[in-house]
Structure 1
Amino acid sequence: MERATRGVALVGLSLLLLVGTLAVGAATAPDRGIGGDGSEGATLVGSQGGGPGWHEKGSVYLVEDGSIAWREGSADSYFDVTMLPDGTVMAGFMHSGYESGCGPYDDPCTKTGFRIIDPDAEGGPSVVSEYAFPVRTAKNSETHDVERLDSGEYLLSDMEHERIFTVRNETVTWQWNASSFYDAPPDVTERDWLHINDVDAVNQTHYLVSVRNANQILLIERGEGVVEVINEDRGGDDSSCLGNGQLSDFDGDGDVRCGNPELLDHQHNPQWLGEGAVLVADSDNDRVVELHREDGRWEPAWTLERAGGIDVHWPRDADRLDNGNTLVTDTLNKRVFEVTPNGTVVWSTGTPSDSPIPYEAERLPEGERAGAQQYGTADGESGAGTATEAATGTGTATDGGRIPGLSLALVGVRAVAPWIPFWFGEAHLALSFVAIVGVAAGSVDWYRQRD
C-alpha cells in the first residue's frame, strides 16, 4: 500500500512538472508579432507545411498590414516564392498523389518543380500553370528554388538528381550536374547526397548555388562549371558532412569535399551582395551571417544570432533589403522578421498555426536582389560585426535554453509534431521527457501494488 501511494505521488509530481514546464514556457515566451509603421510593405511567404515531416498543408501567402491578405494551399509543400512583374507568383513546390506522368516510379507518385499562382483569379488565388517532374520520394527530393531568367528560361535547383538546370517550354536547355565536381554515389536519386537547395542568378552567365550537405556555396559559370567555392575544403574533421546518408568517400581516396562547419553548417538561400560578399542563412549554426572574401578566404563580417528576445533557430532565408535592413525566415521559431544592422527588430510576424513551417520570404515589391547593400564596407552602415539587440520585444524567454545533444532530437520532434509552440526548446524537451518517464514509472508502481 505504501508503494502504491508512492507511485501515485510520483505521477502527481511528474504531471506537475510537465504542466509547470509548459505553463512557464508559454507565459514567458516573447511576442513574435511586432508591427511596423506601415512603410515596410507586403511580405510574401512560402510555407513548407504543417503535417508530419513538414509535408501537407503547404501554402503561399501574403502578409500585409499585420494579417494574411491571401493564401493558396493546394500543394503538400511550397518553398521559394517570387512575385513576377505581371503580379503572378512563382513558387517551388512538392506534391504527392499524381496519377500519371510518373516515369520510372509507380503511380500515384510525387512530383516537384514550380507553379505559377494568380492571387487575383476569380474565386480566389489559384494555380494557373506548373512545370513538374516525378521524384523517388516526398522527402529530400524537392525543388527548393526557381528563378526566371531574362532569356525566358527558368533556372531550378534539383535535389532529386543533384543538379541545377534551365528549362523553356518544358524542355531542358542546360544543366550542371554536381557529380562533375563532387564524389558521387552510384545512383544520386537513392540518397539525400548533397541536398542542393538554392540557385540564384548573379548575372546572365553566373549562378550562386547552395550545396547544403557539403557546407559550401558554389559560383558556377554557365558552360564552364565551378569558378569559386565559398568555404573550400581545407582538410580537418568531415563528420558534419558524413552522417545520415550524406557525403561519403565513394571513390575511396580517403577524403570528401566538405567545408568547415564553423563557417557554414548546412546553410540555405545565400544572397550575392556583390564581388566578395554573400549573406547566408547559416541554418545549423542558428545564425544569419554575412561573409566577405579577405585575402582569398571567406570570413564573417556580420552575424545575427538573436532578435526580438528569441535566439534565432534554424533560419532558412535571409534577404538584404533596399533600406539596409535584413529580412529573416526563422524556421523553427515559426516567424519572419526584419532587423536593422544592429539587430533591432522593426517588424515581425508569427506563421499560421495550420501551416507553421516557413521556408522563404520575399519583401515586395523589391524581392531578393543580387548586389544588395553590404555591411562592413565603406558604403555600408555601421552594423558590421555581431549585431546587438537594441529592441528585444516583450517577454524574457529565449528558445528554452540550448542543451548540447538535444538539438537534433528537438528537430525530430518538430518534424513529427509541427504544431509544437515555437518557444518549446531543448530544456522544455528534457524536462518533459523527465516528467513523462516519471508518470510512466509511477503508474507502473501503482499498478503493481494496487491490490
Structure 2
Amino acid sequence: MDGPSNRTVRALFAVVLVLAAGAVASSYATAEPNVARAHGSLDDAGTSGPGDTGVASPDEQPTEYGPPDPNGSYPTDTGEDWAEGAADETEGRVLVDPEERDPENLTVVGTQGFYASDERAELVAFDRSGDVAYYDDSYRVYFDVDPVEGTDYTVEYLAAEHRDGADCANVSTERCTYSVFTRVNLTTGEEREVYGEVTPRIYSARWHDVDRINDTHVAVADILRDSVRVVNTTTDETVWEGNASSHFDADVGGAAGDWTHINDVEVTPDGRFVVSVRNMDQVVFVEPGEGVDENWTLGAEDDYDVLYEQHNPDYVPPSQGGPAISVADSENSRVLEYQRVDPETGSATTAADGEWRRSWGWQDSRVQWPRDADRLPGGNTLVVDTHGDRIAEVAPDGSVAWSVTVGMPYDAERLGTGDESTGGESMRAIREARGTTDDAGTRSGIDLPFVRSTDDDPGVGAVPPAGTITHPDRSIVEAVWVVLKGLTPTLVVNGLLYAAPSWVRFTDLAFGALALLTALAWAGAELAWSGYSPLFRLYSAVRRS
C-alpha cells in the first residue's frame, strides 16, 4: 500500500507550522501589558548609600539576642508618626489615596525584573479592580515585602541595586550589590532605610528575605554567607548567626558560590526560624543556639515528589489549625500545604515523632515557577506566579477568585491580613469549619491525581480531599497541558522563560518547540526526497579512504 504523497506530507507540515505559529502570535497579540510600560520611569536604579554594616565576626557573636535593656523597651522604628495623607506623585511615584482606597483592598507586590527581557522591577500595589494604586521602580530588583504591624498603609520591603567602582571599595570587588531593607508609607512616599549592606557579588548574593523579629532586630536570609543572621538595626551589628555548614555536608546542594541559596526566613511564635534551603529542597526549623531540629524538616535532597527548589514557606501555628506549612513548590510549578500529624492517628501534632503530610495543592496550566503562597484569613491563598506573570487569589476548591497580571513577581502581601500567612488557617481547619470530609493526607501525595474529574466536584465553598492537587478548570485541555508541563525539564523551561519577553508562557514554548521540530522534519523530508543523502556520502567517503 502506497503511503501519502509528497504533496500531502508538505501540506501537513505547512498546516502544523501555521497553527503553531498562529498560537504563539495569538498569545503575543492578546497578552496583557506589563505594568512597567504604563507606569515605569525607566530611570536608572536608585542611589541609596551603602552605610557601614558593622557585622561582627562569628566568634564575637553572642548565642542569644533580645531587647537592649532589662525592661524590654526598644528605640521606636515603627513610623507611626508618619502622616498618611492624600495621594500624590513624588519623584515619579504613584501614591495611594487613602480617601479612595481601603488598605484591605490593596495587594502590594515586589517584582524581580530581568535585564535580558522587557520586565522592569517595581514595587506596586493593586486594588481589587486591578488598577495601580502605588508604583515605584527606583531599585534594580525587589524581593520580599511585609506590612508593618499597627499601620494601615506602611510596608517594609527588600530591594537591591548593582554598583561598581568606588561604591564597592569596602568589599574589594569591581562590581557589587547593595541589599537594603526599607520602610515606606504608601500614601506619602516617605521612606526610611532600616538596614542595608554591600555584598561583593551581583548574582547569588542579593538577599531575598528579611523578617522582622521586633522593633530593633531583623532576621536575614543571607544567600552569600549560607546562613541566617539576626541583626540589631539600631547598631547594625549581627548578634547571632546560624550557618548551613553546621548541618549540611559540603557535597550536597548547589555549586560553590551558590551552595544553599537560602531564600526565606520566618520567625515562628515560639521563637524558632523556618528557613527555606532551596538547593537542598528542604524547609528546616532552626532553634537559635541549638541548631536544626531534624524531626521537623520538610523535604529531602533531590526528593522532588515533596519539594523541588521551593520558595517562601509560611508556617501556620497550632492556634490556626497547624502545625502546617504553605509553600510555593517552584520547580514543580505548584502550590502546596503540608500538615504535621501523628503518623498513627493522623491528628495534628507538635510532637517530635510527627511527620509532614500533604494536605492541599493547586496547579493550573498557566502557573510556572510560583514563589509565594500566603494563606488569607478567609481561606483563600494568595499565589505569586512568577513566570505566569500574575498574582492569583485561589479559593480552597481551586477556583481563581481574583488575579492581576504583572511582570515577574516575587512576593505579594494583602494589606490588613498580617505578615505572610499570619491571619490564615490550615486547610484542615478550613475543612472542619466547612464540613468537608478530611483524611490525614499523604506523605508525598504522589499517589493522588493531578486533576479531579468534573463529576467529583465537592461544590462551591468546599475543599477537595486532603493531598489532592486541584485547579479551577478541570477540562481535558487543561489536564493535557498540566501533564505535558510535568513531562518537560523544568529547569530548562524556567531558564528560557526567565530571559524571554514577558508575554511568553509555557504554552508558547511548547508551540514554538512544535514548530521547530516540524521545520526540521520537513527539511529532513525534503532532503530525502531530493536523493541527497549527506550521511550516506560521508559513509562512502570513509569506506573509500
Q: Taking structure 2 as the reference length, what is the TM-score of the superposition? A: 0.64
Matches within 5 A, 1:351-362: 351=406, 356-362=407-413
- The 1-side partners of 2:255 and 2:367 are apart by 32
In the TM superposition, residue 29 of structure 1 has moved relative to its aligned partner by 8.5
Unaligned runs of 5+ in 2: 1-9, 35-101, 344-353, 437-462, 528-545
Partner of residue 361 from structure 2, selected from 284, 287, 303: 303
- The 2-side partners of 1:149 and 1:415 are apart by 33
CA spacing shift, 1:418–1:143, aligned 2, 3 Å: farther
CA spacing shift, 1:60–1:9, aligned 2, 3 Å: same
Report the residue type matching 2:124 in the other structure: Y
- The 1-side partners of 2:328 and 2:339 are apart by 15
1:82 aligns with 2:137: no
In the TM superposition, residue 113 of structure 1 has moved relative to its aligned partner by 3.7
Please name the residue that 1:238 is paired with: none
**Deviation by residue 1:198-234 (Cα, 9 ceiling, x = unmatched):** 111112621111111111111111222212442354x
Report the residue type matching 1:422 in the other structure: R
3-state SS of paired residue (1:261)? coil
Structure number having the greater strand percentage: 1
Please name the residue that 1:363 is paired with: 414
Partner of residue 328 from structure 2, selected from 270, 276, 281: 281
Please name the residue that 2:22 is paired with: 20
- The 2-side partners of 1:14 and 1:134 are apart by 52
3-state SS of paired residue (2:387)? helix
- The 2-side partners of 1:68 and 1:25 are apart by 24
Partner of residue 122 from structure 2, selected from 50, 59, 62: 59
Please name the residue that 1:150 is paired with: 214
Partners of 1:144 and 1:198 within 8 A in 2:
yes
Partners of 2:330 and 2:369 within 8 A in 1:
yes
Please name the residue that 1:203 is paired with: 269
Matches within 5 A, 1:237-248: none
3-state SS of paired residue (1:313)? coil
Please name the residue that 2:387 is paired with: 332
- The 2-side partners of 1:191 and 1:199 are apart by 20
Partners of 2:493 and 2:506 within 8 A in 1:
no
Partner of residue 183 from structure 1, selected from 246, 249, 273: 249
CA spacing shift, 1:439–1:152, aligned 2, 3 Å: farther
CA spacing shift, 1:221–1:418, aligned 2, 3 Å: farther
1:346 aligns with 2:401: yes
Partners of 1:193 and 1:213 within 8 A in 2:
yes
- The 2-side partners of 1:409 and 1:388 are apart by 25
Deviates more, 1:418-427 or 1:290-299: 418-427
CA spacing shift, 1:179–1:39, aligned 2, 3 Å: closer
- The 1-side partners of 2:19 and 2:399 are apart by 35
Please name the residue that 1:221 is paired with: 287
- The 2-side partners of 1:349 and 1:290 are apart by 23
CA spacing shift, 1:39–1:101, aligned 2, 3 Å: closer
Q: In percent, how many aligned pairs have the same letter? A: 31
Partners of 2:28 and 2:503 within 8 A in 1:
no
Bigger RCO (CA 8 Å, 6+ sep): 1
Report the residue type matching 1:338 in the other structure: E
Please name the residue that 1:427 is paired with: 510
Unaligned runs of 5+ in 1: 1-7, 33-37, 234-257, 445-451
Please name the residue that 1:68 is paired with: 132
Structure number with larger C-alpha Rg: 2
Considering only aligned residues, what root-mean-square deviation do their CA atoms show, in Å? Answer: 3.9
Structure number having the greater helix percentage: 2
- The 1-side partners of 2:356 and 2:273 are apart by 18
3-state SS of paired residue (2:219)? strand
Partners of 2:110 and 2:143 within 8 A in 1:
yes
Q: Taking structure 1 as the reference length, what is the TM-score of the superposition? A: 0.76
Matches within 5 A, 1:33-52: 41-52=105-116
In the TM superposition, residue 172 of structure 1 has moved relative to its aligned partner by 1.2
